[in-house]
Chain A
């Protein structure tokens, strides 16, 4: 059997989280006999991509915890303010204990509150999944889809990823779409939870109306793609279709606040027409029908294919690859496992030069694997990726984190500083001379090999390795 260490290394960096030092299964050597086969095998692992952990809170529970904490703190602040005002009233002109404020604020920012605990638990589960994976192809797919269907500014982000994305990562796109768009995290993030049909009872009585945000982003970002087949009228009509898709308010509902509910009183009655098709009126099913059709639309197939190719392969992906993925998506009706197979069996995917740069979240995990870390500090890693511009589950826009190289190249200086910090912490356990072969193998340039060999300290050797272009690129 001929060994192909170069493609093995490529498989790990391009489709996974990089080789793991000291690992028997996550290494270049382990998959060199059949890199493509190793990737395909990861797709067949039962429950691939799932995180089953009874200790992690459901999205509803996370929402309630967050809300309760914030509310309790607000009550405290009110009490504190009243106390100060009372003290002032009794003793006008006396100084008050305002000096504590900055210290208090700083302490609060670092405190382990219940919502922060939830966040770190979820982050830890995700990061460990990536760290412990052999190659990590399925986890990379989860991260891709989570960014595609991104949410932000919600206590529910981690739970959302587990509940809406992971179950469908190798399932059907239509199912993931339904799960994501119907999830309270998404409904909250893109304001649909407050969108009211103008002719609905709520709309009439409270004189409130539509919020088009989610409808637009579903068409523009999640399915058809920008400037394809839909018009402004379609956006508005779609917004009407999904009115009533909301969540139980947390304030009034200590047991089920934060959970999905379809509220017929908010729903715009009657049939709606979009993209040339009329959807009969009728509750939540109207929206589900639209989503099902969007999932099947050829424009969606092309849009998803392009995004996948752009994420894994190149900013301007080879047209042949996009075609290949589009057809596979379309003919399998969005079978994401089949599309993933098509990706890693496409010759273009292997031939493409290594033009993409790893996003901070991927690079941070790759560095721990490269250094052979057994125990990882997920809090530190979350902090590091945030510093590098990819705050976990907090993208600044519904487009999610960019997949264009240009967005990340200006962050190289920060990567250097954080690489240096990481290397100083762990290099004592690393043998620099093993590093290049284990981590890059045939992908290493002679210049990188030499730089690592000539490093003045182990820490510098590790820094140079993880900053090397071959390590930074996919």
Chain B
């Protein structure tokens, strides 16, 4: 698929130049009226992490006395050969994320932990629908909270056109940014490569139902003969036991390209201001790893993407908020396949120069068995909607009543979190 915008930089250009150069009809600079009146030009990017990010592995509660007991060898700690990156004395960041760590130290990253939507079941489809729709319960959905927020903002008088478009990267427009406000979308030239997750699942399905196919696929993947779930028996030492070994480079490239492109669009003086994209692969039921391994590889790719966003935003970084959200967390304990299953409380990562960052916000529930939700998951003590409402209100100047009525219907009782922005 060819992208409509081939240039690697979008230099400041007149509207006509942009039109001619790219052949794409842009949504014109849509700057919310109230923000503009303050002399600001805020950008807001939401990244949906599909699959359920293991918040405890990304940001570990190293100061919790029960942490190491809970996760044993998989517990990120401040010592050992690959120590976690210290945050605030209680929490540490997975060492796969040096960019996020640096931003944290610069005051441009905030982590909200033990957060979740109201969803308490364990289906990805339903969880993502609820995460992106902003609705308080399941039902028919055709729009997302970000689109509704955008539709509700009044444009500034000097907005160049009356179009108010949301922006989406990727071949599938994420639900979060679908709705009444029209969407401008950009498809990267390379799509997200087959994730290890997907490959493993296909292989697993074949091994259980069709040995001929399993063999055909294994041969195609060049994987060593791998034992059934429970342990690797004959992995060749030079080839990791992950099918599609080497695929992480493609994933890194895809993440960086998609996120970097989103940033370029948002940074452009006459580009959109609000956008979303999604990354798959976070459903780490099998061989998740901890400071190394499959999840760490993904976190590293995400970290690279965040670096690309900061670079491409340029000066606009100071006006930017990026939120990384996921449908639910994962089980507090590791399962029988060295992975984790679906959970509840997890992290939301907030990044951007507009933040009053350098903090981990958490009403920490603890990880003793009695503290866990249904004795298995990190409890959620913060409603994710509070975070999102706070950002929309204070960064985009969305109206608080509209937030409770339209953007997150039924959330009157959920107060917007204050003090997130600088």
Contacts and interface: CB of A to CB of B under 8 A. Distances in A.
Nearest to B284: A456
A420 B250 CA distance: 14
Interface residues of A, number: 37
B13 interface: no
B118 interface: no
B52 interface: yes
A409 B212 contact: yes
Contact of B202 (A432, A459, A467): A467
Given A416-B202, A432-B125, A448-B209, A456 B217 contact: no
B191 A464 contact: no
B205 A464 contact: yes
Interface string B220-231: 110000000000
Interface stretch (A189-197, A394-402, A423-431): A423-431
B4 to A, nearest CB: 16
Given A414-B220, A425-B172, A451 B205 contact: yes
Contact of B124 (A420, A457, A463, A467): A457
Given A428-B172, A456-B50, A457-B51, A413 B220 contact: yes
A468 B210 CA distance: 9
B212 A460 contact: no
A358 interface: no
B201 A424 contact: no
A417 B247 CA distance: 12
Contacts of B191: 420-421, 424-425
Given A456-B51, A456-B281, A420 B194 contact: yes
A472 interface: yes
B16 interface: no
Given A413-B217, A424-B171, A428-B172, 4 more contacts: A448-B205, A457-B124, A460-B198, A463-B202
Given A424-B171, A425-B191, A410 B124 contact: no
11 contacts: A420-B191, A428-B172, A445-B209, A448-B205, A451-B204, A454-B124, A455-B201, A456-B51, A456-B52, A456-B281, A469-B209
B124 A455 contact: yes
Nearest to B48: A457
Contacts of A413: 217, 220-221
A464 B205 CA distance: 9
A411 interface: yes
A412 interface: yes
Contacts of B208: 447
B205 A456 contact: no
B219 interface: yes
A405 B210 CA distance: 14
Interface string B277-296: 01011110000000000000
Contacts of A455: 124-125, 201
Nearest to B187: A425
A458 interface: yes
A209 B199 CA distance: 56
A83 interface: no
Contact of A447 (B51, B205, B281): B205
Contacts of B210: 469
Contacts of A469: 205-206, 209-210, 213
Nearest to A463: B198
B156 interface: no
A433 B129 CA distance: 13
Contact of A456 (B124, B192, B202, B219): B124
Given A460-B197, A464-B202, A412 B209 contact: no
B172 A411 contact: no
Nearest to A414: B220
Contacts of B173: 428
Contacts of B199: 416
Contacts of A433: 125
Given A447-B205, A456-B50, A420 B283 contact: no
B124 A409 contact: no
Contacts of B212: 405, 409
A447 B209 contact: yes
Contact of A416 (B123, B128, B217): B217
B37 to A, nearest CB: 36
Nearest to B283: A456
A109 to B, nearest CB: 14
Nearest to A457: B50
Contacts of A405: 212
Interface string B125-146: 1001000000000000000000
Interface in B162-188: 170-173
Nearest to A409: B216
Contacts of B125: 432-433, 455, 458, 461
B280 A456 contact: yes
Contacts of A454: 124
Interface string A260-283: 000000000000000000000000
A459 B209 contact: no
B193 interface: yes
A420 B51 contact: no
Nearest to B342: A454
- 6 tightest A-B contacts by CB? A413-B220, A409-B216, A456-B283, A456-B51, A428-B172, A469-B210
A458 B172 contact: yes
A419 to B, nearest CB: 8
Interface in A426-451: 426-428, 432-433, 445, 447-448, 451
Contacts of B128: 457
A453 B122 CA distance: 11
A432 to B, nearest CB: 6
A472 B213 contact: yes
A412 B216 contact: yes
A56 B109 CA distance: 60
A454 B195 CA distance: 15
B280 A409 contact: no
Nearest to A455: B124
Question: Which residue among B52, B205, B282 has the maximum number of chain A CB atoms within 10 Å of its CB?
Answer: B205
A427 B174 CA distance: 11
Given A416-B194, A456-B280, A424 B209 contact: no
A379 to B, nearest CB: 11
Contacts of B205: 447-448, 451, 464, 467-469
A449 B219 CA distance: 25
A369 B198 CA distance: 22
Nearest to A421: B191
A417 B51 contact: no
B380 to A, nearest CB: 20
A405 B171 CA distance: 33
